[in-house]
Amino acid sequence: MNGLLAAPRAWIETFGEIAGFCGQVLGQVFGGRVFRFFGEALRQAGILILSSTLVICGLVFIIGLQCGIEGAYFTRGTGTPTYAGVFAAWCDLRELVPYAFGYMMAAKVGTGIVAELGSMRISDEIDALEVMGINSMTFLCATRLLASWMVLPFVYIASVGAGFFASYLAVVVQIHEVSAGGYSLIFWMFQNPPDLLFSAIKAMAMATVIVLVGCYYGYNARGGPVGVGTATAKSMVLNIVLVHLIGMLGTQVFWGANPRAPIGG
């Protein structure tokens, strides 16, 4: 019986550790301690902008094309090609753009943080920071979280734009069964500013979780290079699960009770 309970007990223990760690990092950001290292936060923000914006927008662009193509062929099949914008609007803003953003954040930013902090841990760089009298958690983790909050809303809005543009290209330019005006009318009718806000909240929740999980696994890596590799894999698994959980909960909370669709008056 004890053997059967060992695995769930270990998961709960790990979950508790991660929650405690996240609480400490969030406390350092909200408590203002992180602003002692604002320069480092700016540096991390610069790294995020330069290394991740293009790749996130690129992936979301492809997802936008996919939503457009799917919407155009589906509405053609039902004899309502002018309504391709409905599918594209919902697919882009509510579901696939946040997911694509989450996937790329987990794959690029999350694993990058684990690898960087993990290698710092095993080469004693984190201990070196500590003995210099610098709170390594604030310097390494809280600054990364602050940087992500400073940068990622804008990156997300840019990626949403890339997705919208891609859907437009697929429906209007490539498949061309609806005019530009007809597509835009329906596309914009089925979304409004609060939808964009909800979508951004979903994406930022994903981004926050991904950065915190990455920091946890990197900061606590042990066991040499193999340990860093294992930590990277674990973080990726957990992040993908959490991205889907947040996506599902977000949809339920923001659009579950009220789908916010201009149908039936």
The contact set with another protein (CB under 8 A) reads 17, 21, 24, 119-120, 123-125, 127-128, 130-137, 219-220, 222
In the structure encoding, which two tokens stand for residue 106, read together? 């987990």
Per the CB < 8 A criterion, the answer to whether 106 and 99 are in contact is no
Nearer to another protein, 199 or 235 (CB): 235
Query: Which residue is listed with tokens 């329906």?
Result: 186
In the complex with another protein, the residue whose CB is nearer, 187 or 216, is 216
Separation between Cα atoms, residue 89 and residue 84, nearest integer Å = 9
Considering the complex, state which of residue 25 and residue 155 has its C-beta at the smaller distance from another protein.
Answer: 25
Amino acid, res. 63: I
Choice between 91 and 140, CB closer to another protein: 140
Please, which residues have CB within 8 angstroms of residue 246's CB and are 6 or more apart in sequence?
A: 102, 202, 205, 206, 209
Q: If you search the block for the tokens 């543009």, which residue do you land on?
A: 165
Structure-block tokens of residue 150: 């400073």
Nearer to another protein, 83 or 219 (CB): 219
Instruction: Closer to another protein by CB, 3 or 133: give it.
Output: 133
**Smallest distance, another protein to C-beta of residue 58, A:** 25
Q: Angle at which helices 193-219 and 224-251 pack, to 10 degrees? A: 160
Q: Which residues contact 207 (CB under 8 A, 6 or more apart)?
A: 101, 102, 105, 109, 148, 152, 156
- Residue 159 contacts residue 101 (beta carbons within 8 Å): yes
Inter-residue contact 102 to 243 (CB < 8 Å): yes
